[in-house]
Amino acid sequence: MKTIINFIILACVLLWSGAVFSQNVEFKKGNFKDKKQEFKSAFDDFYAGNNLSGQGKFAEALEHYLKANAFNPDNGFLNYKIGECYLNSPYKTKAIPYLVKANKLDPAAHPDLLHSLGSAYHLNAEWDKAIDEYAKFQKTLPEQAAEMILQVKNNISECKFGKELVKTPLNVKIENLGSVINSEYTDYVSTISADESILMFTSRRKGSTGDTYDDYAQEYLEDIYISYDKDGEWSKPRNLGKPVNTPRNDAIAGLSFDGQRLFVYRDDEEGNGDIYESLLKGEKWSEVTKFPAPINTEHHESTACLAYDGKTLYFVSNRPEQGAFGGRDIYMSKWDKRRKIWKKPKNLGRNINTKYNEESVFIHPDGKTLYFSSQGHKTMGGYDIFKSTAKGRSWSKPKNLGYPINSPDDDVAFVVSASGRHAYYSSVKKDGLGKRDLYMITFIDPPTEPIQPQLTLLKGIISDALSGEKISAKIEIVDNALNEVVADFESNSTTGKYLVTLPSGKNYGIIVNAEGYLFHSENVNIPASYGYQEVERDIELHKLTAGSKIVLNNIFFDFDMATLRPESTAELNRLLDLIKTNATMQIEISGHTDDKGSDTYNQKLSENRAKSVVDYLTEKGIKKERLEFKGYGESQPISSNETEEGQQLNRRIEFKILSK
């Protein structure tokens, strides 16, 4: 009995001690009679923090609140305000101990206290604790607060979904890009060229153009930086400088897959934003120009991504027009046939867009896989990254990419390499070097979502065949079956580099043109079953002079026949235009074979094929006296006949200038 009485007394003492320990201490002079000067200083910080947080300046407010808290750590409202500041910072989970303490000291410190505590647990992936706090908060809401009740129900659903996703994590490795790329400041919104040779990103690091500090954001203004892959390591980032970066905020909105067209986001005076463009001319970026209407509006346009064809733009806008679904939606616009204006943008529809916000659109180089962030589809919290695939004119139901790519916090600005092996994004993690860092995701074998691409990445250098001088040339990608130009680009005028992506399932003609040169043609036939491959092909152009000759790689015949196939039409018409443009040019069309079959047979077949080309040209109005045709059979091989690939190269039609 005595033991029981002693236990009860001890329990009462502990409870009383806990109550004393958890007592809320108001910021009043009477509570600090012996520390008047310290109280005044702390109260000034407390007051300053309230003023700054009321203006949304949470980083600056936090400094004052922490000073006040060092003097009086037992004020519920102050602990709540510190938690609020952390929830509005990159270090959101630091809010937990302050919000927990605020709830113990004064559960009525703020009407949103329980919701904030639920959010902090949610962001720390403490799902059950978050659900409990959300549920408690929901009980405090009146029936009239329908919108807030819906939000809390969504928060609880997000937690339940998060619990399920973390049970089956993706087989991925997520690595911080390291101190060469990341700084002690905020580094985010990264994008890459398709072959991962270029990395560009936005940073608020010191040394920005104008070196201006943003008092509101408590950081330096945004600038765009660039880094290059050097033998598997990223080079030290370089500020792009003028004219891309200015003394205002300049953020990256997207990058073309060949790294030659940069999309820039800038705020306007009304606080909305627009998309701008800069082109790489040799080694210098051009003046930044604003996209015209109907891409930009008086409303907010943010990220943009150019499809592999170079003439289809996906972008994000909150324009309140008919057909919009609410918040920010994803739109698509195409160049008209003359490449003079952008057509009226088309909303991607209810499969992609929701009544909430969509953001950070990225269309993969395969031309059919869309990545974007959304608050409206089924998420773990905030923005999650989703994938959808084009199906004719519609899009498949978006799929959440899962954990650990997605987290309870906002996950945005996700881009994937052409190979599908790597993805890049920005995040706040425990191994971070700054407020926000850039990370690379590696999808580990066996292949894991998000993508198993079916495309060919073709790249190389275009140069003069004699001098080796690098050439700025126009590159057209032709669908030979449709006789249609599906994409066009230009090589870099200084380096001669070009890069194009070719989705599988088509027979492509690659046509290279430069002023004063013969056109050059390549044929790339990619069966639909082909997965990802990289092909490096340097191209040498021959000047329009007597003796110059080229292989017409997009002239096709049926097996062992001299009948021109329909897929040859585009190449034949290019040749026709060249001859018409050069009215005095005399040419020879020659046919060549591999070494299969007899000499006599090969000679006859090659001659008949050359004649078929000449007949086409004369039927189109070219005078016969300007044309010659010859068959050389197997006598002039350009490769070994020991391999199928070599035999294919030897079976060809050539065009030669006899006189100009």
Q: Return the bridge partners of 201, or none.
A: 225
Query: Where does the pLDDT of residue 644 fall: very low under 50, low under 70, confident under 90, or very high at 90 and above?
Result: confident
Residue 343 has what DSSP assignment?
Answer: P
pTM given for the model:
0.88
Q: Which fold has domain 24-165?
A: 1.25.40
Exposure of 19 by Cβ count < 10 A (0-12 exposed, 13-18 middle, 19+ buried)? exposed
pLDDT score recorded for residue 127: 97
Q: How far is CA 467 from CA 164, 462, 542, in A?
A: 63, 12, 10
Query: Where does the pLDDT of residue 17 fall: very low under 50, low under 70, confident under 90, or very high at 90 and above?
Result: very low
Buried residues in 608-634 as b, exposed as e (16+ CB within 10 A):
bbbbbbbebbeeeebeeebbebebbbb
Asked whether the beta carbons of 161 and 382 are under 8 A apart, the reply is: no
Estimate to the nearest angstrom the gap between the alpha carbon of 401 and the chain centroid.
Answer: 15
| Average pLDDT score over residue span 210-217 | 79
CA atoms within 13 A on the CB side of 373: 24
The percentage of residues in the chain with a pLDDT greater than 90, rounded to a whole number, is 79
Buried residues in 335-357 as b, exposed as e (16+ CB within 10 A):
eeeeeeebeebebbeeebbbebb
Angle at 38 between CA 33 and CA 41, to 5 degrees: 125
Domain segments of the chain as ranges: 24-165, 172-443, 454-543, 544-660
pLDDT in tens, 130-148: 999 999 999 999 989 999 9
Long-range contacts of 143-146 (CB under 8 A, 24+ apart): none
Buried residues in 399-426 as b, exposed as e (16+ CB within 10 A):
ebbbbbbbbbbbbbbbbbbbbbbbbbbb
Asked whether the beta carbons of 254 and 415 are under 8 A apart, the reply is: no
Give yes or no on whether 24-165 and 544-660 have one common fold.
no
pLDDT score recorded for residue 236: 96
Peptide bond into 446 cis (omega under 30): yes
pLDDT in tens, 251-271: 999 999 999 999 999 987 766
Asked whether the beta carbons of 591 and 608 are under 8 A apart, the reply is: yes
Exposure of 443 by Cβ count < 10 A (0-12 exposed, 13-18 middle, 19+ buried)? buried
pLDDT in tens, 158-180: 999 999 999 999 999 999 999 99
- How far is it, in rounded angstroms, from Cα 398 to Cα 282? 39
List all residues 6 or more positions away from 303 whose beta carbon is below 8 Å from its beta carbon: 253, 254, 263, 265, 315, 316, 359, 360, 361, 413
Angle at 11 between CA 8 and CA 15, to 5 degrees: 140
Residue 327 has pLDDT above 70, yes or no: yes
User: What separation, in Å, do the N-terminal and C-terminal C-alpha atoms of the chain show?
Assistant: 120
Q: How crowded is residue 378: how many other Cβ atoms within 10 Å of its Cβ? A: 14
The dihedral built from the CA positions of residue 102, 106, 108 and 110, taken in this order, carries a sign that is: negative
> Of the candidates 368, 263, 241, which has an alpha carbon nearest to the alpha carbon of residue 315?
263
Please tell me the least confidently modeled range out of 234-238, 342-346, 448-452, 601-605: 448-452
Query: Where does the pLDDT of residue 223 fall: very low under 50, low under 70, confident under 90, or very high at 90 and above?
Result: very high
> What tokens were used for 40?
């005044």
The percentage of residues in the chain with a pLDDT greater than 70, rounded to a whole number, is 95
pLDDT score recorded for residue 19: 40
pLDDT score recorded for residue 449: 53
pLDDT score recorded for residue 641: 87
Query: Where does the pLDDT of residue 26 fall: very low under 50, low under 70, confident under 90, or very high at 90 and above?
Result: very high
Query: Where does the pLDDT of residue 209 fall: very low under 50, low under 70, confident under 90, or very high at 90 and above?
Result: confident
pLDDT in tens, 577-593: 999 999 999 999 999 99
**CATH numeric code, 544-660:** 3.30.1330.60
Q: Which fold has domain 454-543?
A: Immunoglobulin-like (2.60.40)
CA atoms within 13 A on the CB side of 452: 9
> What tokens were used for 42?
């702390």
pLDDT score recorded for residue 20: 39
Residue 90 has pLDDT above 60, yes or no: yes
| Average pLDDT score over residue span 330-343 | 88
- How far is it, in rounded angstroms, from Cα 135 to Cα 507? 59
Lookup result for tokens 């080796």: 468
- How far is it, in rounded angstroms, from Cα 438 to Cα 432? 9
List all residues 6 or more positions away from 203 whose beta carbon is below 8 Å from its beta carbon: 183, 185, 186, 187, 188, 222, 223, 224, 225, 237
Asked whether the beta carbons of 307 and 518 are under 8 A apart, the reply is: no
pLDDT in tens, 511-554: 999 999 999 999 999 999 899 999 999 999 999 999 999 999 99
- How far is it, in rounded angstroms, from Cα 68 to Cα 45? 6
Asked whether the beta carbons of 196 and 177 are under 8 A apart, the reply is: no
Q: How far is CA 72 from CA 29, 53, 95, 114, in A?
A: 12, 19, 17, 22
Peptide bond into 365 cis (omega under 30): no
- How far is it, in rounded angstroms, from Cα 22 to Cα 568? 85
> Of the candidates 452, 496, 454, 494, which has an alpha carbon nearest to the alpha carbon of residue 474?
496
Find out if CATH 2.120.10.30 is the number for domain 172-443: yes
